[in-house]
Every structure is written in structure tokens, then in C-alpha cells.
Amino acid sequence: MVLGHSYGGGRWFADGLHKGKRAICALTVGGREDIYADGGLYAPVEQILYPIHHGIFGFAGFSVLEPFVVYGPNRMDDTERADALGAWRKRLVTLDASRVLVNGP
């Protein structure tokens, strides 16, 4: 029952019900960063997430921030894992400086 709550009634994108709010995807992927790139085995993560960023978050009026991605956490040692957690912590406190992929109003 999101129709009317998160979207609908002529309210989408810049006029979406969630205008003024931000959204971010934070995720882990099993492979190395180089395989999620142009010419890699998979498309870049931002391209993979486009339907979510644009078609869900952007459609509902959110300003969509650049995703936070940890590549291959299953291959990380304790130091690398701690570094990834530190990078996430830093990202959270610097959200205002994040690149916006889909603009809200």
C-alpha cells in the first residue's frame, strides 16, 4: 500500500512525497572492484543500482546519494575489514559532502 503514501497522485520526482529527504544504498558485493567496472565482468555498481536510484528513490522524490560499496568483504583480513568500517563511519558523518546522483527538488 505504498501508492498514495510514497508515490502517486501526480506526485513524483521533484514533486514526490519524499522531497527534501535523502536516500543512500550501502551494500557489499562478493567480487573485487575491478570486475564491477566498464569492461569488467559486471557493469559498474551505479549502473546496476540505476533502477533503484532513479526508478524507486528518485521517483518518490528522494535526492539519491552516491552508494557506499564494500567489494569482496569475504576476502578481507581483519585490518581491511576495520578499514571498511572506518570508511563507512566517515561516510556517515560526511553525508552532506556526498555526490548526488538523482536530484530531488
CATH of the domain at 97: 3.40.50.360
Considering the domain boundaries, does residue 73 fall inside one? yes
The per-residue pLDDT for 1 is 47
Quick check: helix, strand or coil at residue 99? coil
Distance CA 1, CA 44 (A): 32
What total of structural domains would you count in the chain? 1
Q: Rounded distance, CA 18 to CA 73, Å?
A: 32
Residue 76, domain member (yes or no)? yes
CA angle 51, 38, 63 (to 5 degrees): 35
Residue 2 resides in a domain: no
4 belongs to a structural domain: no
Please report the pLDDT score of residue 59 as a whole number: 93
Residue 34: give the domain boundaries.
13-102
6 domain-assigned: no
Per-residue model confidence as pLDDT tens digits over 85-98: 999 999 999 999 99
